[in-house]
Amino acid sequence: MNRILVATLADGVQAMPGQKFSVLGGGFDNLNATVFPAVFPRISLLLALEIEAGTDVPMACQVTLRRKSDGEKIFEVGLNLIRNGSFDHSAVVWQGLDLPPLTLSGPGKLILEATSADSKFSCEFEVQGPPAPIFPGVDQNGRIN
């Protein structure tokens, strides 16, 4: 059975099947914004897939990022991944994909879901805004507003 092992967001990913991969700023579970709407100009998707021996047909995978509160889709992408070469054992294939700039309207929870015919993987991200002032009228640097 082919299955999705990991799906996550990162600042940058270089991952070509069958080669080394490099992740910049990955494995986080929150996105911090200083203002809303917040634009994240560079964000990437990282997938790790286990593909069975003898599989030479593409593995179709659908990836969706949505708001947890109302289910609104922020982005959705479909991928067809194929394992290169002939092997007699299963293998893990890493795949990276640069996404278009991500714009978020406000704080809240996001759910990243990756699904294929044989498996599903999901994880949550927290979108956080600037912290509240410690005292009314005083910012985080101690300056009076």
Write the CATH number for 13.
2.60.40.2550
More confident residue, 45 or 25: 45
Domain assignment present for 145: no
Domain assignment present for 139: no
Cα–Cα distance measured from residue 15 to residue 39, given in angstroms and rounded to the nearest whole number = 24
Domain assignment present for 124: yes
With a cut of 80, say whether residue 102 has pLDDT above it: yes
| Residue-number span of the structural domain to which 110 is assigned | 3-128
* Full-model pTM: 0.77
With a cut of 80, say whether residue 144 has pLDDT above it: no
Which pLDDT score is estimated for 87? Answer: 60
pLDDT tens sequence across 84-96: 655 677 777 788 8
Q: Pick the closest to residue 65 from 141, 136, 121 (CA basis).
A: 121
Domain assignment present for 140: no
Which pLDDT score is estimated for 59? Answer: 77
pLDDT tens sequence across 47-91: 888 877 766 666 788 999 999 999 999 989 988 776 665 567 777
Domain assignment present for 138: no
H helices then E strands: how many in the chain? 0, 12
Total structural domains within the chain = 1
Task: Specify whether the CB–CB gap between 123 and 29 falls below 8 A.
Answer: yes
80-114 b/e (C-beta count within 10 Å ≥ 16 → b): ebebeeeeeebbebbbbeebeebebeeeeebebbb
pLDDT tens sequence across 18-37: 667 788 887 778 888 888 89
Domain assignment present for 137: no
Domain assignment present for 142: no
